[in-house]
Chain A
């Protein structure tokens, strides 16, 4: 294997790992924002029905 392959592999590994981590965080953030929105609507619904949400 040419030495250039090791060089390319090293830089590819670094950027792929960082991008995969960022992609994972972004996906988790979208999921949590949707969940937060859903829960807030549930709380608003309960408040309108007259229940006390502490």
Chain B
């Protein structure tokens, strides 16, 4: 990562902080209280935003996986690994938030609904991907395994998204053929949350890729030192 890119990080972090604060204002003050569910409905904004970042991260991991296989550049492997890790973090947050919302509204922590089940399968798949990358072996082998698994795993993402349309489900659909099915002020809060979480994803990716680069440098230097030993 170049010095210019590192210099820009505080600016990106500052912008993200502003977006996060605005999203919190929009969620807790600007958005109206839902008539039936009450305040607990406000979980919706961060729940959807977390799920969105999960999808975005897995899309980026799939694209960078393809680029890695095409160009064999470690840079794309670092993007894939970072994006899978962050995508798993946000998808898990979405699952936990969904469960905390389901308890007072559906009267259960968990149900084997198609959307919930496919999301759980997606999380387990990407958790396995991360574990398989760390099994050992050469960096090149781990990168190849990571790239292939990220590409194959992305097949599940559209299924998760379309699960509420393909099967009978109790999960509500926010995005319909006629647009977002929420009140205008709620839509502002939702869009603010989506924007804040996307910025957060960029920040986390930036930092995680920098750490991956450091790991690579340390590993390369260790090899150089070992190679000189008699």
Binding site for B on A (CB under 8 A): 1, 3-4, 6-7, 9-11, 13-14, 17-18, 21-22, 25-26, 28-29, 32-33, 35-36, 39-40, 42-43, 46, 51-54
Instruction: Name the CB-closest residue of B to A17.
Output: B93
| Contact status B93-A13, CB under 8 Å | yes
| Contact status A51-B228, CB under 8 Å | yes
B15 in contact (CB, < 8 A): no
Distance (whole angstroms) from the CB of B164 to the closest CB of chain A? 20
Instruction: Name the CB-closest residue of B to A27.
Output: B211
| Contact status B214-A32, CB under 8 Å | yes
Interface set, chain B 17-54, CB cutoff 8 A to A:
37-40, 42-43, 46-47, 50
- Known contacts A29-B214, A33-B214, A36-B221; decide if A7 and B207 are in contact (CB<8 Å): no
Residues of the A chain whose Cβ atoms lie less than 8 Å from the Cβ of B210: 29
| Contact status B211-A22, CB under 8 Å | no
Of B37, B42, B92, most A-chain CB atoms within 10 Å = B42
| Contact status B104-A3, CB under 8 Å | yes
Residues of the B chain whose Cβ atoms lie less than 8 Å from the Cβ of A6: 40, 43, 100-101, 103-104
B139 in contact (CB, < 8 A): no
Distance, CA A9 to CA B98, complexed state (A): 11
Give the number of chain B interface residues (Cβ < 8 Å): 35
| Contact status A39-B93, CB under 8 Å | no
Q: Interface 1/0s, chain B 169-213, versus A by CB < 8 A?
A: 000000000000000000000000000000010001001101100
Residues of the B chain whose Cβ atoms lie less than 8 Å from the Cβ of A13: 93, 96-97, 100
Distance (whole angstroms) from the CB of A19 to the closest CB of chain B? 11
6 contacts between A and B (CB under 8 A): A3-B104, A11-B46, A13-B96, A18-B200, A29-B210, A33-B214
6 smallest beta-carbon distances between A and B, as pairs: A3-B40, A32-B214, A39-B221, A10-B43, A10-B100, A10-B97
Distance (whole angstroms) from the CB of A45 to the closest CB of chain B? 10
Distance (whole angstroms) from the CB of B112 to the closest CB of chain A? 21
- Known contacts A4-B40, A18-B200; decide if A46 and B207 are in contact (CB<8 Å): no
